[in-house]
Structure 1
Amino acid sequence: MKSIIQLLHFGYHQAMSCIFPVAIFGTLAITSVIDIPLFCRYDAILLILLGVQYFMYRSGLETLDEIKVICIFHVIGLCLELYKVWMGSWAYPEPGFTKMFGVPLYSGFMYASVASFMCQVWRRLRMDMTDWPGLIPSALLGGAIYLNFFTHHFIPDFRWWLTALVFIVFRKTRIIYRVRTTTYRMHLSVAFLLVGFFIWLAENIATFFGAWKYPDQEQTWQLVSFSKISSWFLLVIISVIIVAQLKYVKANRTQ
């Protein structure tokens, strides 16, 4: 019975941490079948998500510090989107006034939703980490991962080398999270893989509802390549590094 109660509490906090991602997918689904009067779809999505973000802040579901982290990741994601669309990795075929170089501004929110989840779940499950490698190793690794998303179009893709480095740098790091009065631990790299997998599932939902299209989805929708799990795995690492380091700074800690 205790295990069931623990699982229910854990599921509740996970669900509450996913409010913003769920809002995004709900908006994508609704706008794919219902036209918003006077607005192009991409513009309507942006306005709706801005409204959701404002509501979450005013209602106390997100703190000002969490909003700042989300904004940072929105910019990081938008820069990556601009580059990837320019390189032809995927496209946003629908019209919109809030598109910049072929990229709708709402697209940054899809990356920001990852940061939103991380901030929410960190606070709700009173998370902490043991044996965090520190600012310099984690920042250098996060920077190298982000840079590789850009450079692999011109030089060899180092994602698997970077993945190996992740397991080396974070080999001792464990996530501590608490459900009611019980404390649990999980290896950080395992958490990366789990979150990356679920984001890949979410990506399939997003492309199904036309959030964006990969070249092989132009004629008809099909499952996103399993190789994308590794991309999300690495992107999650960037979000965790940003969130964790800011939490450590906030707590005046260095380790």
Structure 2
Amino acid sequence: MARFTPLEERIDALALAAVAAAERRGAPGWLLEAAVFLAKQLWACLFGVLLLVALVAARLWYPDDAALARNDLLTIVAVLIQLGMLLARLETVGELRVILLFHLAGTVMELFKTAAGSWEYDAQGVLRIAGVPLFSGFMYAAVGSYLVRVHRLFELRFDRYPRRGFMALVAAGVYVNFFTHHVVADVRALLIALVVAAYWPTVMRARVHRRHLELPLLAVLGGAGVAIWVAENIATWAGAWSYPGQQDGWEPVSLAKVGSWFLLLIVSVVLVTWVYPPMPSVEPSEADAAEAAASDQPSVRATSSAHAPAQPMLASVPMMNRSRAAEDSSSEKRPRPLTAMRAAMTSGCPTAIEPTIAARSR
């Protein structure tokens, strides 16, 4: 997984100091975990939040008769936001490639959907392709930016994730159906059934601060679809685009769009898995080591990270990299059998391995 940027490490160090100070003052653990969760979520969706703020600000304060069309202004702002993310190194090169794929796939869909009359944009400005302003592609890129960043910030792991090849085929079917349902049968229900069947056993594990969250992946994707639907309502109110029922005045977007966003998120998740392959919460080597330790010391009981005491050596480690440091620390303390055997053989002390060595020498 990509390392955190220097800017993110500085911000994380400040946040960790604030959390530690709150702990010393006796703040409830659940409240601190909730605060860290919200802070990470906001930081992960930075691109989308800034773009949404720009849409609302343009609606409220940008003059209608300005020389620069509002859609062109929004395109320029979106480009500046993306450049800022790159210059601050808040996105890796691999992540940027996925985000560009989101941008391209979204723009192609916008061109088709606006031509089919699914929604429309205000006909103003010059930074556009056909009837689609260029800032529209950045709205899809904002979703991609959130997904790749939230993966790093929460150190996401997935248990019982389906085969990536199969999910790639499902995602391709979802994307194609967005186009073909205008001319042939809509197989959206079948696609949703396939997604539910594939993701039903999948559990997502996310590290917050001292605790981990374990949630069904389907529930997470459903919640994300609702969140995007809320953002879509804000964007349509701000006049970014309008559906046929909103041309005579704004009204809430139909709840049926939640299903469309859910399916689009499937395409998004599959794209992200090619940058960050889904890893299980416990690696096979870690599981074997834990099993061996349990067999050597049967009286020792495992404790969850939620109840384990804080390790002093981790106090200066950023919260987002703390689990990795803990793994390194535990590996340093793990006994090395070959080293112990060599030490016993050279020390001249009788050991349990001497009879075996003597037998082999005979």
| TM-score when normalising by structure 2 | 0.67
1:11 aligns with 2:38: yes
Q: Match of 1:29?
A: 56
Unpaired segments ≥5 residues, structure 1: 251-255
Identity of aligned residues (%): 36
Output the CA distance in 1 between the equivalents of 2:96 and 2:79.
12
4+ residue runs over 4 A deviation = none
**Length, aligned pairs only:** 250
What value does the CA root-mean-square deviation take over the aligned residues? 1.5
Q: Match of 1:170?
A: 199
Matched ranges for 1:1-255 at <5 A:
1-32=28-59, 33-35=61-63, 37-248=66-277
Output the CA distance in 1 between the equivalents of 2:29 and 2:118.
48
Residues 95 and 275 in structure 2, CA contact (< 8 A), matched pair in contact too: no
Q: CA deviation at 1:187?
A: 0.9
Q: CA deviation at 1:245?
A: 2.8
| TM-score when normalising by structure 1 | 0.94
In structure 2, relative to structure 1, the CA distance for the partners of 1:168 and 1:162 (3 Å cut) is same
Output the CA distance in 2 between the equivalents of 1:30 and 1:64.
30
Q: CA deviation at 1:249?
A: 8.9
Output the CA distance in 2 between the equivalents of 1:13 and 1:61.
13
Q: Deviations over 1:5-45 (max 9, x none)?
A: 11110010001111111111111111123139542111111
Letter in 2 for 1:48: V
Output the CA distance in 1 between the equivalents of 2:274 and 2:85.
23
Q: CA deviation at 1:246?
A: 2.0
Q: Which has the larger radius of gyration?
A: 2
Letter in 2 for 1:162: L
Q: Deviations over 1:116-139 (max 9, x none)?
A: 111111111111212221221110
Letter in 2 for 1:27: A
Output the CA distance in 1 between the equivalents of 2:213 and 2:43.
19
Letter in 1 for 2:247: E
Residues 157 and 278 in structure 2, CA contact (< 8 A), matched pair in contact too: no
Letter in 1 for 2:244: P
Q: CA deviation at 1:60?
A: 2.5
In structure 2, relative to structure 1, the CA distance for the partners of 1:249 and 1:176 (3 Å cut) is closer
